[in-house]
Structure 1
């Protein structure tokens, strides 16, 4: 399906927004209660992970557990991912994005990650050779994303079946216990890959540009 251009200049900064200046970083979008974020940061102290969650209840649960465990390489963020990414991240700053079991948007396919114009902006924040891990328990979601990678985004990827013993998120545990097929796409950004946002710097709290109606 055709993808229109993302209007980054229209994005308002999240409340209590703080820009991220460290490089490089990893980012988890939709981190939930933080099970994967806490495991990843504990097992990979060499990486700095930013875990973004929009739902306050889930964010608070992640924050409390982080305070108990104390990983200094994990930063939980309570924000909507789209404006946060636009305002907080610099071009080619991210080593890896994790998008694990996102809402499949059954009634609004245009809001699925690889169908959104925003996905191009997300790619601009990813380093050359960086990766995006997209996981789902819905075969049709993975199949559609795979086709978008081929037809629209022209990106190399590997499709993997997630092991039955995997336990990265609460959703993953539940789905695998029910015997559902969980899969992931490991998407890689080639060295020569370009987007229209490669030179777009963070807005960092500036008011969005007003665009007059035609």
Structure 2
């Protein structure tokens, strides 16, 4: 399906927005209660992970667990991911994005991640050689995303079946215990890959105006 250009100028900074340093980071979008975020930060102490969650109840649970475990390389953020990404992240800053078991949007396919104009902006924040991991228990969701990677985004990727003993998120545990097929696409950003947002710099919470190139 055709993808419109993302209208970044409509994105206002999230409430209580705080800028981040211009250094390499990993970002989990829709981190939920933080199971994967805590696991990843513990296993990768050399990497900085920002875990973004919109739902207040889930964010507070993640924040509480973070305080208990005390991982200094994890930063939970309570915000809607789209405006936060626009205002917080610098071009080619992100080493890895994780989007694990997102809402499949059964009644609104245009809101699925690889169908959104925003995905182009997300790619502009990913460094060359960086990766985006998208996981789902819905075969049709993965199949559609795979086709979009081929037809629209022109990105190299690998498709994997997630092992039955994997336990990265509460959803993943539940789906695998039911015997559902869980899969993931790990896409990477090749050398010289260009987007229309490669030169866009965040304005640290100010309103944004991006001119089309």
In the alignment, what sits opposite 1:19?
19
Q: Distance in 2 between matches of 1:114 and 1:210?
A: 21
Q: Does 1:185 align with 2:157?
A: no
1:19 Cα offset (Å): 1.3
1:105 Cα offset (Å): 0.1
Q: Distance in 1 between matches of 2:149 and 2:210?
A: 32
Q: Distance in 1 between matches of 2:88 and 2:210?
A: 20
Q: How many residues get paired? A: 211
TM-score when normalising by structure 1 = 0.97
After superposition, the Cα gap between the structure-2 partners of 1:83 and 1:102, relative to the gap in structure 1 and judged at 3 Å, is same
In the alignment, what sits opposite 2:106?
106
In the alignment, what sits opposite 1:90?
90
After superposition, the Cα gap between the structure-2 partners of 1:4 and 1:43, relative to the gap in structure 1 and judged at 3 Å, is same
Match of 1:2, SS state, is coil
Q: Over the residues paired in the alignment, what is the CA RMSD in angstroms?
A: 1.2
| Preserved CA contact (<8 Å) 1:52 1:77 | yes
Q: Distance in 1 between matches of 2:208 and 2:167?
A: 40
In the alignment, what sits opposite 1:133?
133
1:209 Cα offset (Å): 4.7
In the alignment, what sits opposite 2:54?
54
1:39 Cα offset (Å): 0.3
Q: Distance in 2 between matches of 1:133 and 1:209?
A: 29
In the alignment, what sits opposite 2:75?
75
After superposition, the Cα gap between the structure-2 partners of 1:54 and 1:86, relative to the gap in structure 1 and judged at 3 Å, is same
1:210 Cα offset (Å): 11
Q: Distance in 2 between matches of 1:91 and 1:210?
A: 14
After superposition, the Cα gap between the structure-2 partners of 1:10 and 1:61, relative to the gap in structure 1 and judged at 3 Å, is same
| Preserved CA contact (<8 Å) 1:10 1:210 | no
Q: Distance in 2 between matches of 1:21 and 1:143?
A: 36
After superposition, the Cα gap between the structure-2 partners of 1:95 and 1:80, relative to the gap in structure 1 and judged at 3 Å, is same
In the alignment, what sits opposite 2:199?
199
Structure 1 unaligned regions, length at least 5: none
Q: Does 1:116 align with 2:116?
A: yes
Q: Distance in 2 between matches of 1:151 and 1:208?
A: 30
Q: Distance in 2 between matches of 1:210 and 1:88?
A: 15
In the alignment, what sits opposite 1:9?
9
| Preserved CA contact (<8 Å) 2:86 2:202 | yes
Q: Distance in 2 between matches of 1:11 and 1:36?
A: 28
